[in-house]
Amino acid sequence: MASFSLDQAEIRAFYQAFSKQLEIELKELEPTLVDIRRTLHKYPEVSGEEKRTSQLISEKLNAIGLQPQIMRKDVGVTADLTLGTIAPNAPLIAIRADIDALRITDQKEVDYCSHNPGIGHLCGHDAHTAITLGVALGVNRLAEYFKNQWKGFGLRLRFIFQPAEEICLGARWLVKQGVMEDVDAIIGLHMDPEIEAGAANIRYGVMTAFCDEVQFKIHGTGGHAARPHHVDDPITTAAQLISSLYQNLPRSIDSRTPAVFTIGQIAAGQAPNVVPETAELRGSLRSTNEHARSVLHKTIEDIAQGIALSTGTRIDVLFKSPLPAVVNDSIITAAFEQSAKDVLGHQQVGQIDMPSMGGEDFSIYLNSAPGSMLRLGCARPDQEVVFLHSPYFDIDERVLAIGSRIMLQTALLLSLNPQILQKGS
């Protein structure tokens, strides 16, 4: 675990003054952030179609004098902001928000419920977007302090509003368009409905899983359902394959290593009295280190080959859409921990014991620069826990200003200690 400290009294005094003034400014901005979040919640857009969302973000950034760039195909936005006196070694800190929604019907009985049938912001991306806009709006209101009271201090930020996180493509799109050029560190956060608003969790090291989509195509010989001895039944093979994978994959790696494999789709046949020629399976493999992932890949292929041999079929295995794990940088995570404690209090910031088996394409940015993600509590005290991707998911909107404060103060901590980032590179 890295330590994070401000050694110079002048820097510490500036940071404390900044933090206090930021709290005041974001308290005043809170109704604006709530309005932004509710507007986004009313008009959600799925991955790759976030044109209205991107336009709204661009308008908000334009209004404070930034020069946002709407990305290719009119989805996604990026903008840079520089304040104060910038030292030659001042790092460029990127702040990322994902902006897409899910194909799930929003069933909440609230006036900001989704107006787009079958689509809902049920993973908190509307909140992520509002929080990152809150960073931009908040720091813009501090510009005069940098000119007058805080001379000698500066801050370089890049805002990345990313489309298509839910299909794990948006980060790749934006990296190809250059959003990580010159970036020294990147930070992000995610809503966590298992933690009450006013608390946060951090994790050092691996935070999310390596993710692979696994496809199987089973080639058999079809025929009459009454004469199975005439066929090589791909459906029977599929049943054996699923059973064998579920039984043997967990035993192929160290039992102390988190990993999970699930079949989510099965497609075969068009009539109940016909054995089809083919069957197709699609599943998801999640693992938490490269060695385990490699072993699991080989075991899947070996099991498929063995089942094919014993059933007289052919099984093609394809691993698609590989997504690396999010591995939080220790230095940036230490800054996150410090800023979260400064905003929420020491007792309100915990550490995550085990990585999540979920995927997150924030990991793609980490190929270009070190980074870290925070889990921000958003549970409302007046209702039972409603999990992510539920049609009833909602947040305690007090987290919007809280999230903006933590993100901006984390960026400031990293900016005040550029030599720490350089040591970690």
**What pLDDT shows up at residue 5?**
67
pLDDT in tens, 238-264: 999 999 999 999 999 999 999 999 999
With 0-12 / 13-18 / 19 or more C-beta atoms within 10 angstroms meaning exposed / middle / buried, residue 270 is exposed
**pLDDT over 80 at 109, yes or no:** yes
Of 136 and 419, more confident? 136
Q: What are phi and psi of 26, to 5 degrees?
A: -75, -30
- Decide: pTM greater than 0.95: no
Which residue pairs from 418-425 have beta carbons closer than 8 angstroms and sit at least 24 positions apart in sequence? Answer: 418/87, 418/89, 418/90, 418/91, 418/184, 419/89, 420/4, 420/331, 421/91, 421/184, 421/185, 421/331, 421/370, 422/89, 423/331, 424/2, 424/329, 424/330, 424/331, 424/370, 425/184, 425/370
Q: Which helix (H) or strand (E) holds 134?
A: helix 125-141
Q: CA 142, CA 25: separation in Å to the nearest integer?
A: 8
Mean pLDDT across the chain:
95
Q: CA 356, CA 209: separation in Å to the nearest integer?
A: 6
Q: Is 125 annotated as a binding residue?
A: yes
Domain ranges of the chain: 9-208+325-421, 215-323
Q: Which fold has domain 215-323?
A: Alpha-Beta Plaits (3.30.70)
Average pLDDT estimate for 15-35:
97
Q: Is 123 annotated as a binding residue?
A: yes
Level-2 CATH architecture, domain 9-208+325-421:
3-Layer(aba) Sandwich (3.40)
Q: Is 229 annotated as a binding residue?
A: no
Contact 122, 193 (CB under 8 A): no
Residue 8's pLDDT band (boundaries 50, 70, 90)?
confident
Q: How far is CA 24 from the centre of its chain?
A: 29
Q: CA 135, CA 70: separation in Å to the nearest integer?
A: 19
**What pLDDT shows up at residue 6?**
67
- Whose tokens are 């930070």? That residue is 187
Q: Is 50 annotated as a binding residue?
A: no
